Structure 1
Amino acid sequence: MSFLKKDYREIITKAICGKGRKFTQESHTVNPSHRPSSILGCWVINHLYHAKKKSADTVEVNGSYEINIWYSYNDNTKTEVVTERVTYCDVVPLAVKDENCLDDDFDVIAKVLQQPNCLECKIDKKGNKITVEIEREFVVQVIGETKLRVKVDPNWEAGAEEDEDDEIWHDHVTDDELEDVDVDFVKQKD
């Protein structure tokens, strides 16, 4: 059976035109106000980011977060928390690309798979700085306009009444039928 062009319609819609994922490990150096004796804890908070399409093959995720390090100094007799805001730029390659997008006006959605997290926090070899190893992971989606071609049912007429088979889906329970429902149909065991 062959189909004519009149049997098809073209629909313009928004669709995912690209996908990518990137895992990053990065080291940061923090300069505390005192020479640290030991690290008591490290955590990452206040993560902010935004993403934009950078090229046909990449999305750029720019962001920042705060590294908080609780450390002791003065031969472990005093403690302090040092906070430092760091920025980053992750270039995420698009592993899946649809070349059929109609324009260059894209929306980008970036989702965090792994929030920035401290893997290791240690005093450097010279003893006056702290090195923090951080991990993070993103997945990105590029959304753009694309064209779909769909087959039209040649027997369907605009404004035609519903088929009799479609009425099955429109059945409703009447008030009389509801009165006949036995609400105590599940009996409790004695």
Structure 2
Amino acid sequence: MSYTEKDIHFREIITKAVCGKGRKFTQATHTITPSHSPTSILGCWIINHSFTTDKVGDSVEVSGSYDINVWYSFNNNTKTEVATETVTYVDSIPLTVVDKNCLDDGIEVNGKAMQQPTACEATISNSGNSVLVQVERDFHVEVIGETKVCVAVNPHGCDDDDKDLSFEDDLDEEFEDLDPEFLIDDLD
């Protein structure tokens, strides 16, 4: 059965959908000041990462914090200590895909750390009494909201004769022919 253009009607449906997306990779340097002047850096790691997301215009702000732990030696490598400092950050992530039809009421902003903040390098500063820690962060964000979708509607409904079940029947026959005792050994 063929339909003419006048037979097809359109409806606007309001539905939840992803109305904006963005991703950002950030590198930052933090200065940690231990209680003693370090002689050498023995290790550096980041723990206790937490963040929140908020839509601001056509971007999403990721606000978070984490603890940086620096294990260092001092007093000419005769003693060690761990310096811990909590740092905060705000990353503004522009939305590369934006649906202008998204209704602002009840939007939801989701953020995912594609890579947890990672300490890439820790070095003693030129002054000798602090440690410079290079950190990488990577976030993907989505804005979910209500938007309108326009769909074509056939006023005559669906024709049940259009269902073709022969494909499913063919699969049933093929499964019946399978040997359940057949196993493949390693091909090494």
Count how many residue pairs are aligned between Structure 1 and Structure 2: 180
Q: Is the partner of 2:104 in helix, strand or coil?
A: coil
Q: Deviations 1:29-75 (Å, cap 9, x if unpaired)?
A: 111011111000001111100101011x1111000011010000110
Equivalent AA in structure 1 for residue 110 of structure 2: I
The aligned residue for residue 82 of structure 1 is 83
1:154/1:131 CA distance change after superposition, 3 Å: same
Q: Are 1:165 and 2:163 an aligned pair?
A: yes
The aligned residue for residue 59 of structure 1 is 60
Paired residues for 1:53-132 under 5 Å = 53-55=55-57, 57-132=58-133
TM-score by length of 2: 0.82
Paired residues for 1:126-145 under 5 Å = 126-145=127-146
Q: Is the partner of 2:157 in helix, strand or coil?
A: coil
Distance 1:68 1:5 in 2: 69
Q: Is the partner of 1:100 in helix, strand or coil?
A: coil
The aligned residue for residue 28 of structure 2 is 26
- Indicate if the aligned counterparts of 2:7 and 2:154 stay in contact, CA closer than 8 A: no
Distance 1:101 1:107 in 2: 11
Equivalent AA in structure 2 for residue 150 of structure 1: V
- Indicate if the aligned counterparts of 2:66 and 2:87 stay in contact, CA closer than 8 A: yes
Distance 2:73 2:83 in 1: 11
Distance 1:12 1:5 in 2: 23
Q: Is the partner of 1:103 in helix, strand or coil?
A: strand
TM-score by length of 1: 0.81
Deviation at 1:150, TM superposition (A): 1.0
Q: Is the partner of 1:106 in helix, strand or coil?
A: strand
Q: Deviations 1:125-164 (Å, cap 9, x if unpaired)?
A: 111111111110111111111011111233317xx9x548
Identical aligned residues as a percent:
52
1:16 alignment partner, one of 12, 15, 18: 18
- Greater mean alpha carbon deviation, residues 111-120 or residues 95-104: 95-104
Deviation at 1:8, TM superposition (A): 1.9
Q: Which runs of 5+ in 1 are unaligned?
A: 172-179
- Greater mean alpha carbon deviation, residues 162-171 or residues 82-91: 162-171
Q: CA RMSD in A?
A: 2.9
1:62/1:163 CA distance change after superposition, 3 Å: same
- Deviating beyond 4 angstroms after TM superposition, the runs of 4 or more aligned structure 1 residues are 166-171, 180-185
Distance 2:75 2:4 in 1: 86
